Amino acid sequence: MTRDAGSLLAVSDLHVAYPDNRAVVAGLRPRSDADWLIVAGDVAEKADDVEWALALLADRFAKVVWVPGNHELWTHPNDPVDLRGERRYLNLVDRLRGLGVVTPEDPYPVWHGNGEPVTVAPLFLLYDYSFRIAGTATAEESLRRAHDAGIVCTDEYFLHPDPYPSREAWCHARVEETERRLAALPADRRTVLVNHFPLTRDPTRVLRHPEFAQWCGTDRTDDWHTRFNAAAVVYGHLHIPRVMHRDGVPFVEVSLGYPRERQNRPPRDPLRRILPPPAEGAAP
C-alpha cells in the first residue's frame, strides 16, 4: 500500500444480507493508508449486520462516513432490534459512533487530500413524495396510482416515522435542520454532499417503474449542489450506478446493488473514486 494523500472513495447499497454481497464487502480494501470511504446507505436491514460491515470497513479505512438508507430504517420482523423511526436511527448512530464512523449527527469532517479543504457532509434527508407521477396533482393521488399499479415501496410497511406523524414530516424536519448546518459552513468551502436518496429528480427519470420515484427524494434539495458549493454529490438507492452532471457538478450513484442486478453487467471495482476527480473518460 502506498503512502500518499489518499482518495475519497464511495460505495452504497451493500445489502449484506445477501451472502454474495457479504463476500464483496469482506474484500473491500483501501488503495492507500489515507483513503476515506463514504458508505451511502442500505448496508442491511438488521442492526447487527450494519454494525458488522461498518466495523470491518472502519478497521481498514482512514475514515468511514455513513448515512442511513431506507433499509437500515426498516423495523424488520426478523431483527431483534425492534426500535422504530427516529429511535432506531439514533440507536444506529450510537453503535456506529462507537466504531469511529462519522454519522449525519457528527461534525462534518474536512478532507484535505486535494490541497484545498473539502467538507464531506453526510446527510439524512429521506423523501416527501414530491417526485410525483406525471399528471398527478397531489402526493395522495400519486401514491394511490402507485398502489393501483402494484408498485409500492416496502418502506410503506416497515419504515416507521415515529415520533413524526409521517415520513414526509420527518423528511421536512431533516431538510430544515440540515439546511441550517450547511448554511453555517464557510461561504467559499467546497463540499461533497452525501445522501442515500438523490438530491435532484433527474436520476429517477430512467426508472423502469416511474411510480417508484416518489420514494426517492424531495424537491426541496434541487439546488443544494450549487447553493452549497458541491465538488460532487454522492447518492445510491436507485441501484443504477452512473455519473450525471448538472451545473458542472458530478452526481455519482455508487451502489453495489443486488447480486442479480450485477449478473449482466461487466465486473467493476465496487469503490468509486470521488476525489481527486477521475480523469475525463476514466472509470470513477
List residues near Fe ion by CB under 5 A. 13, 42, 69-70, 237
State in angstroms the smallest separation of the CB of 47 from Fe ion: 16
How far apart (Å, rounded) are the C-alpha atoms in residues 175 and 206? 25
Residue 42 or 51: the one with the smaller Cβ distance to Fe ion is 42
Nearest alpha-carbon partner for 237 in 190, 192, 200: 200
The amino acid occupying position 112 is: H
Residue 15 or residue 132: which is nearer to Fe ion going by CB? 15
Nearer to Fe ion among residue 71 and residue 225 (C-beta): 71
In terms of CB distance, is 70 or 119 closer to Fe ion?
Answer: 70
Half-sphere exposure of 266 (CA within 13 A, CB side): 2
Q: Output the nine-digit C-alpha cell for 142.
A: 400519486
**Which of residues 271 and 275 has its CB atom nearest to Fe ion in the complex?**
271
Q: Which residue is nearest to Fe ion (CB)?
A: 42
- Between CA 86 and CA 161 the distance in angstroms is 7
Query: What gap in Å lies between CA 165 and CA 147, rounded to an integer?
Result: 21
Q: How far apart are the first and last CA of the chain?
A: 20
The H helix count followed by the E strand count for the chain is 9, 10
CB of 159 to Fe ion, least distance (A): 10
Q: How far is the CB of 180 from Fe ion (least distance, A)?
A: 25
Nearest-approach distance from CB 170 to Fe ion, in angstroms: 15
Minimal distance in Å, beta carbon 279 to Fe ion?
A: 29
Cell of 77: 420482523
